[in-house]
Structure 1
Amino acid sequence: MSQQLVLDSGTEDAKQMARILYLVHAATFFFSLGMLSFLPLIVNYLKRPETNGTIVYSHHGWMIRSFWFYFLWMVVGGILFATIIGIPVAWLVWTLAWLWKAYRLIRGFLDLNSNKSMPI
């Protein structure tokens, strides 16, 4: 049986900010391959303490972890790309990282709208 959450206006405002951040992460991700994602990342770090104790806190953490793991895999792909043998593997790593990040953004946005917290 699912539990219905009662949200106050502060939590609703925090949810709206998280929604906007998901959309900005997605826009920077799709239009710059994530190179501009550090901008919403900064806002995630600034807004996360304000949401401590709510489901929105887990969403900020989800977006932050998504950014850093995506960044790590892009760097790994870049290192592989620097070697001639690793070029096809680099493209594979970049493609998988892109798909993984897209999944995380979509899942997070949908779970936020369903009032579900993200796994820590």
Structure 2
Amino acid sequence: MVQELVFDPKLQSAKNLAWWLYLMHAASFLFSLGAFSWIPLILNYIKRGDTAGTFVYSHHSWQIRSFWWYFFWMMVGGLLFVTVIGAPIGWLIWCVVWIWKAYRLLKGLLDLNDNKAMPV
């Protein structure tokens, strides 16, 4: 049985915004190590409620969680970096969290493109 695809302009608009927010997070991540990710983060918080009940809601939550965990681990790495003995550990944390954040952005973009919800 063939399922007919239904075009929902409101859902498509929400999906497009989530896509642009992924790109804004990625640009901030690449050019400022995430220092300007607070701009798309605010938009994630504002627009997340508009997408309640859709798979796009999970993408806003995914981006929000990714930001806060990245921020937390960057601060932990920074605190360790300023101590003489913790500098190598700080660098290691920064490298691991950078790879983790890159994975989260790519995974989110790919799943959004496939209309898949993100895990909670």
Normalised by the length of structure 1, the TM-score is 0.95
CA change 1:5–1:53 in 2 (3 A) is farther
Cα offset, 1:82, TM superposition: 1.4
Q: Secondary structure at the match of 1:59?
A: helix
Correspondence 1:107 to 2:107: yes
Moved over 2 A (4+): 3-7
The match for 1:51 is 51
Aligned mates of 1:38, 1:4 — CA distance in 2 = 39
Aligned mates of 1:53, 1:7 — CA distance in 2 = 17
Aligned mates of 1:4, 1:84 — CA distance in 2 = 62
Code of the aligned partner of 1:107: K
Q: Secondary structure at the match of 2:76?
A: helix
The match for 2:85 is 85
Aligned mates of 1:112, 1:5 — CA distance in 2 = 17
The match for 2:25 is 25
Count matched residues. Answer: 118
Code of the aligned partner of 2:35: M
CA deviations over 1:66-119 (Å, ceiling 9, x no partner): 000000000000110111000010000000000000000000000000000000
Aligned mates of 2:36, 2:19 — CA distance in 1 = 18
The match for 1:68 is 68
Aligned mates of 2:4, 2:95 — CA distance in 1 = 38
Aligned mates of 1:60, 1:41 — CA distance in 2 = 9
Gapped runs of 5+ residues in structure 1?
none
Cα offset, 1:6, TM superposition: 4.0
CA change 1:119–1:6 in 2 (3 A) is farther
Gapped runs of 5+ residues in structure 2?
none
Aligned mates of 2:26, 2:4 — CA distance in 1 = 28
Code of the aligned partner of 1:114: D
- Identity, in percent, stands at 61
